[in-house]
Amino acid sequence: GWKVRYRSGFFGITDEKIRNVAQTPLQKLVSALTSPFNASGINLSLYPIYGNDAGSGDYIRALVYIDANDLTFTKTADGKRKASFDLMAMTFGDNGVPIDRVSKIYTFEINEAAYRNLLKKGFVYDLTVPVRKAGAYQFRIALRDNGLNTVGSASQFIEVPNLKQNRLTL
The predicted-structure confidence for 109-129, as pLDDT tens digits, reads as follows 999 999 999 999 999 999 999
Question: Residue 168: its pLDDT value, please?
Answer: 59
What value does the mean pLDDT take over residues 131-157? Answer: 93
> pLDDT averaged over the chain?
88
The predicted-structure confidence for 37-70, as pLDDT tens digits, reads as follows 889 899 999 999 999 888 888 999 999 999 999 9
CA angle (24 as vertex; 21, 26 as ends), nearest 5: 130
Q: Looking at per-residue confidence, does 141 or 19 come out higher?
A: 141
Q: Looking at per-residue confidence, does 81 or 23 come out higher?
A: 81
Q: Pick from 142, 169, 158: which is nearest to 44 by CA?
A: 142
Is the entire prediction scored with pTM above 0.85? no
Pairing of strands 81-92, 74-75: antiparallel
Question: Residue 19: its pLDDT value, please?
Answer: 60
Q: Between the CA atoms of 89, 64, 93 and 36, what dihedral angle is there, to the nearest 10 degrees?
A: 90
What value does the mean pLDDT take over residues 65-90? Answer: 95
What value does the mean pLDDT take over residues 16-41? Answer: 81
What value does the mean pLDDT take over residues 121-138? Answer: 92
**H or E element that contains 47:** strand 44-53
Is residue 105's pLDDT more than 90?
A: yes
3-class secondary structure, 153: strand
The segment with the largest mean pLDDT, out of 6-10, 12-16, 48-52, is 48-52
